[in-house]
Amino acid sequence: MILRFRYRPILALTAVLLLTSGQIEAREAPEASLIIVGPGDPLYTYWGHIGIAIGEDFYDFGNFSFHSDHFYSDFAMGRMLYLGMRTPTDLFLAYSMTEDRDLYVYPLNLGPEELELLDSRLREWMLPENREYLYDYFLNNCSTIIRDILNEVTGGELKKESAEWQGVSFRQRARTGAHQSFGAEVLLHFLLGPAQDKPIDGWELMFLPQAVADIAVETEYRGADGKTRILAGEPMILKESTREPVPSQPRTLWPWLLLVGILASIGYAAAENLDNPKRKGRIIGRIFRTLVVLGVGLPGAVLGFLMVFTDHAAAYSNLNIGPALPTVLLGIIPIWMAGRRSEVWLSWIWTANLLGLAVVILIRLTGLNVQDAGAFWALYAPLTLICSRPGLWIRDRLTQ
């Protein structure tokens, strides 16, 4: 895979301008530092970034280029090769100062042998045969690699300290990180499967950059020279963002999704009544019902593709596939056909999604699957009921 990082000339110019203008003061840097960058505006920066500076060299992971060969196809299939990089520390800091993101530098308290081991491991990662790695959102990202290196440097003490921390779950942390965008949080909640709902400890929590720093400042270890040290000191704050801090809890989504489900159900039923040659709104009604079908079937098709054909393990065994069965897309055909029989066919197509909802609720209640899917039950329950064969029977009784 060839990566073409076209932003480097821009970064270099930015660094020169900032350094010469005095926005970054010259100071004596510690021998090694943990650098944390807070959330940014693009979706892939919502959870922050992390790296280690040793003197003039800055090492970080989780790098990619949209211009790399096969990037989009690899991303779709969940086979993402990401890259470790070494860049000048001043260059990275200068670029980070241009963004509205927190920028913290934590000095690493390392003895001579620990510093040598850290430098050696980072240099090994930068070798051509090692620098590319298969990325995973939660298990192998820019943060977990640095976590693993620091754990080795401290003789396993970082992992021991992390056992005392509670991380709640991957889903909870992923959703709070996505708080900047309502749509992104709903999408993540929909796509993540039950594996992200199991309780996690501090070790797993360190898939988040800031968690690595938070646990590092509490980690005590004995160095090869016999001295006891705290792994990371208090941070030096280079910049503080103006954006809202990450909340401790994700949004409560089910009331909003329930409202959407109810409104879509009412609109669907009203649109069916418009589907009469004598009514002027016939085409509008058909278009609305088509949009409802697409709104359920397309997300289901994407989820089904991720579950069956890709390496996106985070989506496996997802209960949301039940009420979002992509077979509902077949309903577009009878929507644009005339006659009572087409309405009956359409209702039976929707009935499969209603049964899918009932099955996944039963699976969840029996404990066979622990996925947090209640918000989407609120969305799909009124919609699949009103559109299904039982719903058609109810609508017929009400209109008689």
Class of residue 6 by CB neighbours under 10 A (exposed 0-12, middle 13-18, buried 19+):
exposed
- DSSP class per residue in 66-81: TTSTTHHHHHHHT--E
**Residue 51: which of 91, 14, 22 has the closest Cα?**
91
pLDDT at 280 (0 to 100): 59
Say how far apart CA 391 and CA 157 lie, in whole Å. Answer: 60
Say how far apart CA 267 and CA 286 lie, in whole Å. Answer: 11
pLDDT at 64 (0 to 100): 83
Residue 201 backbone phi and psi in degrees, to 5: -105, -170
Token pair recorded at residue 94 = 């200068």
CB–CB of 191/318 below 8 Å? yes
Say how far apart CA 316 and CA 92 lie, in whole Å. Answer: 37
Residue appearing with tokens 């298990």:
139
pLDDT at 25 (0 to 100): 44
Q: Which residues of 114-131 are buried (b: 16+ CB within 10 A; e: fewer)?
A: bbebbbebbeebeeeeeb
Residue 170 backbone phi and psi in degrees, to 5: -60, -40
Say how far apart CA 206 and CA 159 lie, in whole Å. Answer: 10
pLDDT at 282 (0 to 100): 78
Say how far apart CA 190 and CA 193 lie, in whole Å. Answer: 8
215 Cβ partners below 8 Å, 6+ apart?
A: 158, 161, 162, 165, 202, 205, 206
Q: Which residues pair with 85 in a beta bridge?
A: 60
Residue appearing with tokens 């055909």:
333
Say how far apart CA 85 and CA 123 lie, in whole Å. Answer: 10
- What count of Cα atoms within 13 Å lies in the side-chain half-sphere of residue 19? 15
CB–CB of 105/232 below 8 Å? no
Residue 339 backbone phi and psi in degrees, to 5: 110, 160
Task: Profile the chain (400 residues) by mean pLDDT over runs of 10 residues.
Answer: 34 39 43 96 94 96 79 86 94 95 97 96 96 94 97 97 94 96 96 97 97 98 96 96 93 97 94 65 87 97 97 96 98 87 94 98 95 97 96 82
Token pair recorded at residue 121 = 């491991």
CA angle 238, 242, 247 (to 5 degrees): 105
Residue 62 backbone phi and psi in degrees, to 5: 80, 20
Say how far apart CA 332 and CA 76 lie, in whole Å. Answer: 26
Class of residue 106 by CB neighbours under 10 A (exposed 0-12, middle 13-18, buried 19+):
buried
Say how far apart CA 352 and CA 103 lie, in whole Å. Answer: 51
Token pair recorded at residue 382 = 């009124």
Alpha-carbon 97 to chain mean position: 25
Say how far apart CA 136 and CA 79 lie, in whole Å. Answer: 9
Q: State the pTM of this model.
A: 0.86
Residue appearing with tokens 């056992």:
163
pLDDT at 13 (0 to 100): 36
pLDDT at 151 (0 to 100): 98
Dihedral of CA 176/180/186/190: which sign? negative
